[in-house]
Structures are given as C-alpha cells and as structure tokens.
Amino acid sequence: MRAIIALFILISLNSCIKEYELPPAEILPEDKLVQIIADLHTEDAKITFKTKLQPDSVAALTKLAEAKVVKKYKTNLVTYRKSRRWYEEHTHNYNRMYEKVVDTLAMREQMKRLY
C-alpha cells in the first residue's frame, strides 16, 4: 500500500514540474524576443511618460512603435505575436524569458548612467 501511495506521489510531482521546452521552428528565438520586448518596454515608457497625450493617442503611438521595433529585428507582427503567445502559454519558458527582459532593461539603464 505504501509503495502505491509513494508511486502516486512521485507521478503527481513529476506532472507538476515543467521543464524548459524548445519552441517550434516558426517561433522567434528567445534571445531575439527578449530584445524585442525590452525595446518595446523602452518605447512604451518614452511614449507614456515623456508625452502629455491622451490615452487613445498613446495607444496609437504604441502600435506604431511596436511595428517599428519588430521591423528593426527583421520579423513581422504576426510572427512576433505568435511567438509571444507561445511563450505565454509555456509559463516556465515565459518566466525565464521575462527574467532576461528585466535583466536586459536593468543593464541598459546602468549603461545609460555610466555614459
């Protein structure tokens, strides 16, 4: 009986632990997506905090900035959004990727202060 309970607990724990999953080929690589999202956060901050525009104007400028940033990384909005959605659906990957986004933004801020 104890062996069955122990086996059940091991199976339950194993199903709860999700490891990093490799994205499909059509999904942007994690490092590229990190750079895109970091740039988007930077652009969003510029638009939101450095302008005194109405929310609808901010939303329009944010969409334009999104298209510009995605184009800078030689991809398109459809691929970017599909990739972002894939990472959001794979929580472990998304959390890991977003930690890199935060680190990238922090590093950029430090570099900006130094120079």
| Per-residue pLDDT reduced to its tens digit, 75-111 | 999 999 999 999 999 998 999 999 999 999 999 999 9
Domain boundaries, the chain: 23-114
Lowest mean pLDDT among 9-13, 55-59, 80-84: 9-13
CB 22 within 8 A of CB 28: no
> What is the pTM assigned to this prediction?
0.79
Dist CA 46 CA 63 (whole Å): 13
DSSP at 90: S
| Torsion, Cα of 49, 97, 69, 39 (10° steps) | 40
Most confident of 5-14, 32-41, 43-52: 32-41
| Per-residue pLDDT reduced to its tens digit, 16-41 | 445 668 889 999 999 999 999 999 99
